[in-house]
Structure 1
Amino acid sequence: MFSKRRSLLLGLTALTLGLAACASKPELSRIQDPDADFHAYRSFAVLPGRPDGSSSLVERRLIAAARLQMERRGYVLDESAPDLLVNVAAVLEDRQRLRPAAADAPGKEAVVTEEYRLGRLAVDLIDARRRDVVWHSTAEGRVSAEMLRDAGTAAEKAVAAVFESFPVKPKARVAASAPASR
């Protein structure tokens, strides 16, 4: 139905996990269309994943987390005629950097190569009628082996972190009604 596709790489999930679980907060950024009225939008649909319809467990958790964030803000899932399209993408990269190290002798300088994984998560909201991106937010951070152990939960936390800057705040949860007093 939608011609645009969301690309989620399997390793990305680790990124997402890492972003949410890291001791230091991920670096977040966002940009939005200043003319977009996010309170005027009522419904959304999540863009389909891979062309063959398959998805990994982590991809499904990312999509479910994005859907939950939209619903918490009052948007209704409508796959036939949505106002907004949600696109989620993540990537994991192996990186290297040089860092200072203790030298063998005074006055000598030493450096070591440090290897690490960098994860990035991006969420785009697209005005379905105009086919224009109206909100784009990203999270980026280091991913450790510990972060990979509970990828699903980490993915959900990373998506929640990205949505913290969304212009429509989550609605307060409805408390269970207390018994009427006499």
Structure 2
Amino acid sequence: MKNIVKLMKSTAWVAFAGILVMSCSQALQVSYDYDSSVNLKQFKTFKVEAEHNIEQDPLLGSELNRRRLGDAVVEVMESKGYKLDQQNPEIIVRFMTDVKERQQVRSNNMYSPYMWWYGGGNNYSTYNYQESRFILNIYQKNSDRMIWQGWASGKVKAPTKKDDRETMVKNTMADILRTFPQATLDTYSRK
């Protein structure tokens, strides 16, 4: 009997932990691409700016969010060992956001031997939503050539508090830059 109670308690804790993890996870899908001919570990300094000549979404691309995005990218890049250099950076990290209207169509097949009784058939429903994208493009300064690109896309819910917005943006930028390599050990030996 004691073993059954222990098993039930441990199962309940595992279920609770699974629900907690699922509720905290973001709905954003993160991916990246890079130029394999460039050694990404050779860079040590960076600069952050908004992407040029791109029409920003009026909400996600607002001045407030551009500052949040820029600050979050600086914080994440510095935590990876890179130094901010506005005058002579080796790489330039440019960010942009956009929102796309999306539609999901669902089909509920209700065919069965008893469809004449239930009035079955094929029911369709549509669901309209907005998909947001956060995109980071990294350019090599001396050639102005894109060497790395990372993005996160999905449904974004607006947080309710100011701190939550900044945390959400920082976590999203950290997720995007997760695959970008750390700066090498001699980062701090250069001026």
Give your verdict on TM over 0.5. Answer: yes
Q: Is residue 2:105 matched to residue 1:98?
A: yes
Q: What TM-score, normalized to structure 2?
A: 0.66
For 2:175 and 2:169, the matched residues in 1 are separated by 10
Q: Report the equivalent of 1:39.
A: 41
Q: Report the equivalent of 2:146.
A: 133
Q: Report the equivalent of 1:14.
A: none
Amino acid at match of 2:79: R
How far did residue 85 of structure 1 move? 0.4
Q: What TM-score, normalized to structure 1?
A: 0.69
- SS of the aligned residue for 1:95 comes to strand
Instruction: Answer yes or no: is the 8 Å Cα contact 1:49–1:55 preserved in 2.
Output: no
For 2:82 and 2:135, the matched residues in 1 are separated by 20
Higher RCO structure (Cα 8 Å, ≥6 apart): 1
1:102-117 maps to which residues of 2 (within 5 A)? 105-117=118-130
For 1:157 and 1:126, the matched residues in 2 are separated by 22
For 1:22 and 1:109, the matched residues in 2 are separated by 35
For 2:135 and 2:171, the matched residues in 1 are separated by 13
Which has the greater radius of gyration? 2
For 2:180 and 2:97, the matched residues in 1 are separated by 18
Instruction: Answer yes or no: is the 8 Å Cα contact 1:116–1:143 preserved in 2.
Output: no
Q: Report the equivalent of 1:89.
A: 96
Q: Report the equivalent of 2:173.
A: 159
Instruction: Answer yes or no: is the 8 Å Cα contact 1:95–1:116 preserved in 2.
Output: yes
Percent sequence identity is: 24
Q: Deviations over 1:97-118 (max 9, x none)?
A: 2112486935311111111110
For 1:170 and 1:100, the matched residues in 2 are separated by 52
Residues 1:130 and 1:22: Cα distance change in structure 2 (over 3 Å): farther
Amino acid at match of 1:77: L
How far did residue 93 of structure 1 move? 2.1
Instruction: Answer yes or no: is the 8 Å Cα contact 2:98–2:133 preserved in 1.
Output: yes
Instruction: Answer yes or no: is the 8 Å Cα contact 1:126–1:134 preserved in 2.
Output: yes
Q: Which moved more, 1:135-144 or 1:162-171?
A: 162-171
| Runs of 5+ unmatched residues, structure 1 | 1-20, 172-182
How far did residue 96 of structure 1 move? 1.7
Instruction: Answer yes or no: is the 8 Å Cα contact 1:38–1:168 preserved in 2.
Output: no
Q: Deviations over 1:77-109 (max 9, x none)?
A: 111111000101111223222112486935311
